Amino acid sequence: MRILLMGARGMLGTDMVQDWTSDELIAADSRDADVRNLEQVRKLVSKVRPEWILLTAAYTDVDGSEKNSELAFAINASGTENVARVASEFGARLFYVSTDYVFDGTASLPYESSDPLNPLNVYGASKAAGEAAVQKHARDWCIGRTSWLFGASGASFPEKILRASETRPELSVVADQVGSPTFTRDLSAAIRRLVHADARGILHITNSGVCSWFEFAKEVLNQAGRTAIPVRPITASEIARPAKRPAYSVLSPDSLRHYGVTVRHWKEAVPVYLEDLRKVGKLS
């Protein structure tokens, strides 16, 4: 199967390139085609002629999106529309990676894939617009929402915690936002299975298990052997951040189970992640 990956230099895309060996995967990034440029996208897809397009390219700076809303929408909404249109033109199926931030976090039960969207911030709104573009313009599509990504191929929350533990006597971490950490290598494997299953519709793809950022930080430090570092729970209101985050963004796995795909508990992924950090020289 010939697959075009757009966003190959991102944290998820890098893992996909490394781990996806069962198909002919053509890796592309903004140097090959800027998603904001319809003709560049058309030229790339015309050259590759893929059966599937995996769109992981995105503007993912949540706080930066508040200050750069035009850029966020240009990439995450208009850029996604360009890819969706071209995928339809060439008869390619499209897999679009989206986010838990399309929800407002007011739920008390895990969000189902059919629940209404109500993003709290510009980033979430731009990704929701991208989802709408996929559904309107792509012929055959699958949207995979995920959350709280971490991986050794890019800067993520647990790496920042580990770095901070090397220089600070105490850490303060938000304890009133809850979600499911998702290891990029596990997400990559799940997407690969879904593509092979010819998946359609909107799916939720995360590691199993639920925690707060505070609990996530504590577990990473414990597994890294840094148990002496004090970690203090704080509320989100104690941190002045430009973008508001959902307090509860747990995604239900029911849509994923329809395809017989399950993902291990996030705690089981942490030691693999730590080993990956050691391999790339980010953790001693």
Taking the C-alpha atoms of residue 32 and residue 5, their distance in angstroms, rounded to an integer, is 11
Q: Which residues of 171-185 are buried (b: 16+ CB within 10 A; e: fewer)?
A: bbbbbebbbbbbbbb
DSSP label at residue 51: S
Q: Which member of 96, 111, 123, 248 is catalytic?
A: 123
Active site residue 248: no
- CB burial readout 225-246, b (16+ within 10 A) else e: eeeebebeebeeeeeeeebbbb
Q: Which residues contact 41 (CB under 8 A, 6 or more apart)?
A: 33, 34, 35, 82, 83, 86
Alpha-carbon dihedral 7, 63, 255, 17, rounded to 10 degrees: 20
Residues acting as catalytic residues? 123
